Every structure is written in C-alpha cells, then in structure tokens.
Amino acid sequence: MKVFIIFIALLIANVTFISYQGDLNRYVRLQTYLKAVAEEAAAGAALYYDEVAYSHGSMVINREEGQKYIEHLLTRVGQTLDLKEGESLNAGIEILDDSNGAADPGISPAVTVTLHLTVTDLFRLPFLTKEQVVRSAKYELADY
Amino acid sequence: MKQLIVLAAILPLMLIFMAQFTLEQKNSAIINALQQQVYTAKEEAKQEGCFTSAITEQLKSNIHTKLGVPEQDILVVATETPQYRINYFDPAGERGMIHYSVSVPIAKIMAGGKLLGIPSEQNKGVYTIEGTTASEKLPD
C-alpha cells in the first residue's frame, strides 16, 4: 500500500509538472506572437498618411485607413488563434502626429498599438489562472 | 524481490515523464527559433516587397542550420510578386500586402510512443506560422 501511495503521489507530481510546462511554453509563445502582431499593426497603420497635409509639410497619419488595416489584421489573428465564444482580441490605438502634438521639435510621429487578448484560462492546473495577455508596440517615423 | 518487481514496472512509466519533459523543451525551442527566423524573413520581405527567392532560400537555410530540419521538408508559401506600398488599405488584402506561411515538421510529439502504443506515423506533426504584412517597398 505504501508503494502504491508513493507511486500515485509521484504520478500526480509528474502530470502536474508536465501540464504546467506545456501551458507555460504556450503562454510564452502567445506573448511573443502577440508582440509581433502589435508591431505589425503599429508599423502597418503608420504607413497610411494624409497626402494633402503632407503636401503642406505636415505628417498626419490617416486614422481611418490605419484602423481598417488593424481590424483586418485582428480578424486574421483571431482565426489563427481559433478564438472561442467569450474570447476576444481588441486593439487600443494611440496616434501621435502633427495634428496633435508631434509638430514640436524633437517629437516624432508615432503609432502605438496595445493588444488585449481575453481567453479562457491558459493554464489547465486549477490553482493557476491567466485569462488576459496584453502586449504593446510603438512604431515611430524617426526621419519626419 | 517484490520491491524489485514493482520498481521494474514503475520505472519505465516514470522515465517517460522525464523524456517528455526534455522533448517538450526541445520542441518549444524549435518553435521559438522558427518564430524568430520567420520574423526576420518577414521584415526583409517588407523592404523587398515580397518573399524573393533569395529571402526564401535564406530562410530555409537558417531553419536547416538552427533547427536541423532538412530544407526539402520546409514548406514556404508566400507572396512572390512584388507588392508596393500604397496609401490606402485594400479590403481584399491583395494590393500592398504580403502573405506568408511557413511549415516545419515536428519529428516527435510524445516520448515513449512505442511503449504507449502510438505509431510513429501518428506521433509527429507540422507547425505552421502564417501571417500578413504591409509592404514598405516604394515603386522604383
């Protein structure tokens, strides 16, 4: 009986450890992936600019086109992550350009994207809970 | 004697966990390295307007060197015609966009597959990274 109890204890410890390791690796990969997506979203949104304002010497990011691009990106990422009902991926966008403060010397136009991923628990172990992953990236147009 | 028999029965089961731990670390390292290599290739493709044959070959070569995966087993499906930077978003995702998908086989998923009765054909998988990026290349 003693041997059996020790065996069960070792089995539970091992299963717990393997489960934790797998979930943690997945969590780390998810963070890396979302960071890359946030960078992609910020860099992509910063590509679209107001041509009329630019002809007057101002760099103004085209918010409407940038928003469309980020929404397209989020839709694709949602499909890749296979988000279930109740899970969501949202983006917060902050744009700094010549229309709202970047006209001052030393400040570059920039787009900051913050992704909020809400999922059902990433860890299968009952005593660990992680339901939100937040990653942010900033793309700066340094030469303007 | 009883203890020895119990140990002989339990030890292989316990060793599978150790082997699985090592295998998980290895597969995770492979996937992380793959993510880095694809990210680098994607950044280069943004500047070139597409996945040129040079970028694709370099990507395959890097994956082969770092992960030990034979180049013929690496599948790269990506935009190969130059896309140029445009100042509006194309809802169809065709103009100004570079699409890519990189697949690499994972040789072994479960340690001790034979002992657990998992055939080697089922004990493998393919890891795919796919995405879309906006081209930064300006027309010449």
Min Cα distance B28 → chain A (Å) is 7
DSSP 3-state of A108 = coil
| Interface contact B85-A25, CB threshold 8 A | no
Q: In chain B, which residue's Cα lies nearest the Cα of A68?
A: B89
Q: Do residues B135 and B96 make contact, with C-beta atoms less than 8 angstroms apart?
A: yes
Q: State how far the Cα of A40 lies from the Cα of A45, in Å rounded to an integer.
A: 8
Give the pTM: 0.88
Which residue in A112, A108, A94, A92 sits closest to A59, CA to CA? Answer: A108
Q: In chain B, which residue's Cα lies nearest the Cα of A39?
A: B133
In the block, residue with structure tokens 């993510």? B35
Q: What is the pLDDT of residue A65?
A: 93
| Interface contact B134-A69, CB threshold 8 A | yes
Q: Which amino acid is at A9?
A: A
In the predicted structure, residue A137 carries a pLDDT above the cut 90: yes
- Confidence tier at B91 by pLDDT (50, 70, 90): confident
The whole-chain average pLDDT of chain B stands at 91
Of the two residues A92 and A58, the one the predictor is more confident about is A92
Q: Which residues of A9-26 are buried (b: 16+ CB within 10 A; e: fewer)?
A: eeeeebeeebeeebbbbe
In the predicted structure, residue A101 carries a pLDDT above the cut 80: no
Share of chain A above pLDDT 90, in %: 75
Looking at beta carbons, which residues of chain A come within 8 Å of B101?
none
Share of chain B above pLDDT 70, in %: 100
In the predicted structure, residue B7 carries a pLDDT above the cut 90: no
Looking at beta carbons, which residues of chain B come within 8 Å of A139?
none
DSSP class of A78: H
- Confidence tier at B80 by pLDDT (50, 70, 90): very high
Which residue in B132, B127, B105, B133 sits closest to B35, CA to CA? Answer: B127
Q: What is the pLDDT of residue A94?
A: 94
- Confidence tier at A91 by pLDDT (50, 70, 90): very high
**CA A49, A51, A52 angle in degrees (round to 5)?**
130
Looking at beta carbons, which residues of chain B come within 8 Å of A66?
89
| Interface contact B32-A17, CB threshold 8 A | no
Q: What is the pLDDT of residue A1?
A: 81
In the predicted structure, residue B135 carries a pLDDT above the cut 90: yes
The whole-chain average pLDDT of chain A stands at 91
| Interface contact B88-A65, CB threshold 8 A | yes
In the predicted structure, residue B23 carries a pLDDT above the cut 90: yes
Of A18, A48, A69, the CB nearest to B20: A18
In the predicted structure, residue B65 carries a pLDDT above the cut 90: yes
**For the ranges A92-96, B39-43, B94-98, which has the lowest average pLDDT?**
B94-98
In the predicted structure, residue A144 carries a pLDDT above the cut 70: no
Neighbours of B57 (CB within 10 A): 12
Of A29, A33, A68, the CB nearest to B89: A68
Interface test with A, best of B89, B102, B106 (most A CBs within 10 A): B89
Tell me what ipTM this predicted complex has: 0.84
Q: State how far the Cα of A25 lies from the Cα of A12, in Å rounded to an integer.
A: 20
Question: Each residue of A18-67: pLDDT tens digit?
Answer: 999 999 999 999 999 999 999 999 999 999 999 999 999 888 999 999 99
Looking at beta carbons, which residues of chain A come within 8 Å of B13?
11
**What sign does the CA torsion over A70, A76, A77, A83 have?**
positive
Min Cα distance A78 → chain B (Å) is 11
Q: In chain B, which residue's Cα lies nearest the Cα of A51?
A: B87
| Interface contact B21-A69, CB threshold 8 A | no
| Interface contact A29-B10, CB threshold 8 A | no
Q: State how far the Cα of A98 lies from the Cα of A107, in Å rounded to an integer.
A: 9
